[in-house]
């Protein structure tokens, strides 16, 4: 069945924004929980809020518009704010905008559920008075996370498995991999011993547990490695474990599968062959590189490289949507 | 008067009421409906109206009002009481609409070729050349089958005498058919009793017929023509209809940026590469179709599209340049046009129209402007319309200035006291003004869709029915046989 490249692009971004919003919601919930669990020590908490801002990529924007970093302000900033694109509410808005343009490609159940989530967040945002710094109700983050998971389930079980589905899935997987990398890197940068970290040895274990929980990886870690949490093993799980659904390797393998379907039997004519090449290369890299090698020269640098590769894949998708046969998409520097 | 209409149902006696006659008795073709409504009772009917409203909202049967800052989408209200047209009346309407569409098509063909009608001075040439929609680029072009107007919507009103008159032709991108189809679906869901005793011909086939007409417009030698629907996008007021029709026909809904023209062939950009397009059902105005030929700043069309059309490599429906024939000043010549090409008398009369570029006409009309409706010659959707009887002195003064400034841009028509129909407002049935827009499709020949869109002006005393001005709609029934005026009501299409 025909699929316009514009529609494919919208499906990709619907997936990406939904995944982004879900990850952020989980990271927020887990971080808040960790803060309560450890008794709310100011220095530790500050490190936590910084980590959240780092994950969202909006630390600069926050400092400019909100000033001092407090838990309340960060929470409002990352859930209901609309003056920047990386809050949960802003992501859902964009997801819905994209989905609106391709409504026919989604199942009715998925669309209606997305619409309901949109209105939930809009009403929460308006009712609370934007920027007033008021918090969402305690169970709200959990509720929100559940809604996202409902959407994932609906996508999985009600959308016809055609090319449109492949693009939606690519969006989900690409963003999922990227989020795992970003979360891991933020935690690596803010680890207790590091500058900007809380400086507390006691906080070590909790720090890495929080990382794992932010990626729904805590139980998976326990099952895979048993005993206590070691940072290098946590990173291995999140990046290279082939059985863990949120690992970069797992997601990229899924991307390769979907892209193979998209490119179809005549790859030379597909606008997406370049994307498949990049994804395939990254998959090989993750499969055949030893864990220690992946994090050379240091974990933060290794993770940044991965983020870069994933970013290149995203860029290749965008260029494919604009490319014309006979005109090679321009190479993107770096 | 029975319970459903209430003692308070009192239509204006100077006006034709569709449902009841002058003595207040339901007309023969409404009696069965009347019986059923009475059985249900007004509370139940009102409750069902609420259900219907929710259905419409949930399904998103909406339209967008231009320039409305509040919201993107508004539900186009459906009033549950259907409008019924008896068999013999419909036959006349069908004949009249067909005649009009055939004549207007011949007119367009002539205007863009020998222009015999201008040379014979039946229509003033200056009127044609001063019409912004006369497209010189179309001169000499031969569209497939000689068809310019593939889809037409003819607006009719019923006068107090009971006679239907044509108020307006819509030959460019007429909309509303999606509401006709969705209204029927909602009616069947909410009011099954009305459909129980009749052999309903499940008539979703408008989409099939439209697709056939569109395929007919394809270049020769294309076995399975690829048809697309070109939309300006999600912010267009009729977007719902574009998406609806594309889905019903099973054709791709495209925007200008999805199309690319190479070597005078049109393609759409798909994930498997470029795919050739044979026919474009374009719901984009002429002006925006091709930045190389028309407006250079348009992002809604595709560069090179018109040349592909000129070369005969792609079909366009409707053809560019049809707007010259639905220009309201040209409208006043349609009876003459019918006589000229068909040698027949018009089956459906025009409304008397004063083309205001004549000084005599202007003087005459402005002696009593409160008795006329003033219409810009080239707008649609009821925009810019000035209703004389409802306008203030200031508004009429301002109007006069506008007309003096651009006389070619205005026509005036005496206000037609259009018919009323019982309509549900706050749980009661009250008379509200209605019009009728039948749709015609021109493939190998002209077919008129039975019924069409009945629009109703919802505010009390209002005579403007357009959706953008707060109107709603009703399901429209056409009786299938003259011998079954009451017991069996058959919906056609």
User: Which pLDDT score is estimated for B340?
Assistant: 98
What integer is the mean pLDDT of B173-195?
87
Residue B270 contacts A, CB cutoff 8 Å: yes
What integer is the mean pLDDT of B20-42?
88
Q: Cα–Cα distances in Å, from A172 out to A18, A166, A319, B173, B299?
A: 7, 10, 19, 39, 31
Question: Pick from B346, B342, B440: which is nearest to B110 by CA?
Answer: B342
Q: Which range among A198-202, B28-32, B135-139 has the greatest average pLDDT?
A: B135-139
Confidence bin at B11 (pLDDT 50/70/90): confident
User: Who among A6, A103, A264 is closest to B258 (CB)?
Assistant: A6
Residue A262 contacts B, CB cutoff 8 Å: yes
User: Who among B234, B255, B273 is closest to A270 (CB)?
Assistant: B273
| A4·B247 Cβ contact <8 A | no
What sign does the CA torsion over A70, A75, A81, A84 have? positive
Q: Cα–Cα distances in Å, from A250 out to A183, A306, B375?
A: 16, 14, 65
More confident residue, B78 or B71: B78
| A325·B274 Cβ contact <8 A | yes
Residue B274 contacts A, CB cutoff 8 Å: yes
User: Which pLDDT score is estimated for B223?
Assistant: 87
| A104·B243 Cβ contact <8 A | yes
What sign does the CA torsion over B217, B221, B223, B229 have? negative
What integer is the mean pLDDT of B286-302?
95
| B271·A262 Cβ contact <8 A | yes
CA distance B272 to chain A (A): 5
What integer is the mean pLDDT of B287-299?
94
Question: Pick from B360, B359, B299, B356: which is nearest to B327 by CA?
Answer: B356
Quickly count: other Cβ atoms within 10 Å of residue B63's Cβ. Answer: 20
Residue A318 contacts B, CB cutoff 8 Å: no
| A6·B255 Cβ contact <8 A | yes
Instruction: Examine the pLDDT at A130 and tell me if it is beyond 50.
Output: no
CA distance A56 to chain B (A): 30
List for chain A the helix, strand, coil content (%; round to 5): 70, 0, 25
List of chain A residues whose C-beta atoms are within 8 Å of the C-beta of residue B254 = 4
List of chain B residues whose C-beta atoms are within 8 Å of the C-beta of residue A271 = 271, 273
Mean pLDDT over the full length of chain B? 88
Residue A317 contacts B, CB cutoff 8 Å: no
Q: Cα–Cα distances in Å, from A135 out to A3, A67, B471?
A: 42, 17, 43
Residue B473 Rama label (left phi>0; alpha psi -120 to 50; beta) = beta
| pTM confidence score | 0.85
| A4·B268 Cβ contact <8 A | yes
List of chain B residues whose C-beta atoms are within 8 Å of the C-beta of residue A168 = none
Closest-CA residue of chain B to A103 = B243
Do you know the residue count of chain A?
334
What integer is the mean pLDDT of B192-216?
74
Confidence bin at A264 (pLDDT 50/70/90): confident
Instruction: Examine the pLDDT at B486 and tell me if it is beyond 50.
Output: no
Q: A5, A9, A114, A167: which to substitute to probe chain B, counting the most B Cβ within 10 Å?
A: A5
| A2·B252 Cβ contact <8 A | yes
User: Who among B234, B253, B273 is closest to A271 (CB)?
Assistant: B273
Alpha carbon B380 to chain centroid, angstroms: 10
């Amino acid at each position: 069945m025909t699929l316009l490249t514009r529609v494919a692009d919208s499906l990709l971004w619907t997936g990406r924004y939904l995944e982004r919003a879900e990850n952020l919601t989980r990271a927020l919930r887990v971080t808040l929980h960790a803060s309560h669990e450890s008794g709310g020590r100011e220095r530790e908490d500050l490190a936590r809020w910084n980590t959240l801002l780092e994950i969202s990529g909006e630390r600069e924007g926050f400092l400019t518009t909100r000033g001092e970093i407090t838990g309340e302000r960060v929470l409002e900033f990352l859930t209901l704010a609309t003056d920047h694109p990386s809050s949960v509410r802003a992501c859902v808005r964009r997801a819905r905008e994209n989905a609106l343009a391709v409504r026919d490609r989604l199942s009715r159940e998925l669309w209606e559920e997305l619409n309901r989530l949109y209105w939930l967040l809009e009403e929460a945002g308006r009712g609370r008075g934007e920027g007033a710094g008021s918090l969402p109700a305690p169970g709200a983050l959990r509720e929100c996370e559940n809604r996202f998971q409902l959407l994932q389930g609906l996508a999985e079980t009600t959308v016809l498995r055609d090319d449109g589905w492949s693009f939606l899935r690519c969006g989900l997987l690409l963003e999922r991999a990227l989020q795992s990398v970003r979360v891991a890197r933020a935690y690596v940068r803010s680890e207790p011993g590091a500058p900007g970290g809380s400086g507390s040895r006691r906080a070590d274990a909790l720090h890495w547990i929080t990382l794992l929980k932010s990626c729904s990886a805590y139980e998976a870690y326990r099952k895979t490695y048993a005993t206590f949490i070691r940072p290098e093993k946590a990173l291995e799980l999140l990046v290279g474990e082939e059985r863990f659904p949120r690992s970069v390797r797992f997601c990229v393998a899924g991307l390769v599968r979907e892209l193979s379907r998209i490119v179809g039997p005549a790859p030379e004519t597909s606008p997406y062959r370049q994307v498949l090449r990049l994804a395939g290369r990254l998959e090989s890299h993750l499969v055949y590189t030893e864990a220690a090698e992946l994090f050379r020269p240091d974990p933060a640098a290794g993770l940044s490289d991965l983020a870069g590769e994933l970013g290149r894949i995203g860029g290749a998708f965008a260029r494919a949507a604009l490319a014309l046969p006979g005109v090679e998409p321009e190479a993107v520097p770096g | 008067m029975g319970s459903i209409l209430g003692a308070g149902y009192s239509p204006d006696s100077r006006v034709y009421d569709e449902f009841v006659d002058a003595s207040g008795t339901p007309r023969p073709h409404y009696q069965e409906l009347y019986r059923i409504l009475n059985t249900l009772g007004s509370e139940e009917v009102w409750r069902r109206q609420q259900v219907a409203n929710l259905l419409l909202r949930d399904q998103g049967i909406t339209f967008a009002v231009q320039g409305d800052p509040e919201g993107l989408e508004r539900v186009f209200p459906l009033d549950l009481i259907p409008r019924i047209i008896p068999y013999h009346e419909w036959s006349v309407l069908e004949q009249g609409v067909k005649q009009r569409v055939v004549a207007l098509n011949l007119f367009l063909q002539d205007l863009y070729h020998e222009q015999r009608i201008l040379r014979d001075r039946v229509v003033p040439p200056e009127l044609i050349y001063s019409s912004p929609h006369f497209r010189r680029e179309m001169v000499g072009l031969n569209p497939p089958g000689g068809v310019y107007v593939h889809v037409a919507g003819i607006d009719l009103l019923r006068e107090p005498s009971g006679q239907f008159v044509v108020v307006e032709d819509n030959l460019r991108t007429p909309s509303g058919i999606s509401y006709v189809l969705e209204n029927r679906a909602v009616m069947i869901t909410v009011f099954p009793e009305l459909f129980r005793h009749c052999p309903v011909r499940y008539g979703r086939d408008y989409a099939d017929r439209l697709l056939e007409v569109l395929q007919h417009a394809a270049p020769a030698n294309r076995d399975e023509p690829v048809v697309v629907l070109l939309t300006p996008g999600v912010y267009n007021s009729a977007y719902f209809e574009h998406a609806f029709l594309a889905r019903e026909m099973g054709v791709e809904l495209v925007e200008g940026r999805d199309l690319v023209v190479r070597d005078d062939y049109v393609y759409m950009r798909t994930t498997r590469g470029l795919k050739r397009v044979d026919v474009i059902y374009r719901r984009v105005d002429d002006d925006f179709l091709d930045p190389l030929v028309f407006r250079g700043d348009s992002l809604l069309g595709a560069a090179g599209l018109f040349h592909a059309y000129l070369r005969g490599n792609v079909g366009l429906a409707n053809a560019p340049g049809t707007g010259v024939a639905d220009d309201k000043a040209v409208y006043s010549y349609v009876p003459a046009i019918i006589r000229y090409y068909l040698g027949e008398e018009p089956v459906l009369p025009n409304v008397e129209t004063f083309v205001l570029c004549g000084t005599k006409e202007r003087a005459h009309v402005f002696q009593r402007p409160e008795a006329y409706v003033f219409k810009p010659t080239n707008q649609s959707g009821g925009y810019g319309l000035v209703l004389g009887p409802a306008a203030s002195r200031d508004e009429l003064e301002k109007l006069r200035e506008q007309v003096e400034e651009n006389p070619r841009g205005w026509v005036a028509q005496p206000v037609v006291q259009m018919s009323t129909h019982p309509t549900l407002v706050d749980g009661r049935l009250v008379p509200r003004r209605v019009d009728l827009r039948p749709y015609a499709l021109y493939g190998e020949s002209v077919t008129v869709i039975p019924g069409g869109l009945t629009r109703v002006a919802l505010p009390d005393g209002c005579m403007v029915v357009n959706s953008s001005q707060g109107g709603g709609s009703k399901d429209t029934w056409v009786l299938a046989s003259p011998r079954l005026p009451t017991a069996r009501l058959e919906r056609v299409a």
